[in-house]
Amino acid sequence: MDLAEGIIAVVTGGASGLGEAVARTLAREGVTVGILDRDETRGPEVAAEIGGSFAAVDVADSASVAGALDALRQIHGQERIAVNCAGIARAAKTVDRDGHAHDPEVFAATLNVNLLGTFNVASQVAAGMATLDPMTSDGERGVIVNTASVAAFDGQIGQIAYAASKGGVAALTLPMARDLARSGIRVMGIAPGLFLTPMLEGLPEEAKESLGAQVPFPPRLGDPGEFAALVASICRNPLLNGEVIRLDGAIRRAPR
């Protein structure tokens, strides 16, 4: 898919972190970007800066997703690119030091945002993309990029909910790509490692350097722009489909 003027994209979690980097990168390529996020202060600001639009959304609520997508489509039209970056991370062990079992509501909330939220957006954008005319001789109509995590493969102590949710995102990539192949819609996943996102930006500089030093090469935290560059490459390369790409500098996380 050529990234150019006339292409419409939606990015969940686009008000900050990886999602914001993706939104800005696609906009610089000439793509019209709609931002979906819970942050009704920062979201509209980013959208205005990149010449896009914003719609508030709770990705875990399918009706909210439908309403937000409809609002953006009323402005820009049907999207051909969808990037799912919305997510939460809550640390809790299966059994804590006091002998208490993991709070099932915390576990469910994490899965609802990270996994069900990804499914809600991906399935609804796919239904819209399937109505479009093909763009290429291969019959491509659109591409969906979902965000997993290296935690899907080597989750750490206290990451049971997060790892399970991101493992689900990784696992749905291939069957979703197979489901949508007849419609000319590609589905990819990216599993980022340690990135300098709002989750880590608040740490002391020494702590950030220590985390970055765990990465074999380059020995630093990832830049969200590097994640966004991979998204753009996926959009451009029609043979990338049904795969989850680790973007992690060859890190493999230790148990803790």
Report pLDDT digits (tens) over 32-90: 999 999 999 999 999 999 999 999 999 999 999 999 999 999 999 999 999 999 999 98
- 62-76, 117-131, 203-217, 220-234: which has the minimum mean pLDDT? 203-217
Average pLDDT in the chain: 96
Q: Using alpha carbons only, how large is the chain's radius of gyration in Å?
A: 18
pLDDT tens sequence across 89-118 = 989 999 999 999 999 999 999 999 999 999
Question: Of 54, 119, 162, 195, which one is the catalytic site residue?
Answer: 162
Q: Which of 94, 82, 88 is nearest to 33 (CA)?
A: 82
Contact by Cβ (8 Å): 35, 43: yes
Nearest-5° Cα angle at 10, 6 to 14: 125
**Element of type H or E holding 191:** strand 185-192
Task: Assess whether 143 carries a catalytic annotation.
Answer: no
| 183 has pLDDT over 90 | yes
Q: Is residue 145 predicted with pLDDT exceeding 90?
A: yes
Q: What is the pTM of this model?
A: 0.96
* Domains, the chain, with CATH or none: 8-87+115-155+169-246 (3.40.50.720)
pLDDT digits (tens, 9 = 90+) for 23-45: 999 999 999 999 999 999 999 99
Which whole number is the average pLDDT over 206-216?
A: 92
Q: Report the pLDDT value the prediction gives residue 7, as an integer from 0 to 100.
A: 97
Q: Region 190-194: what's the mean pLDDT? A: 97
pLDDT at 256: 86
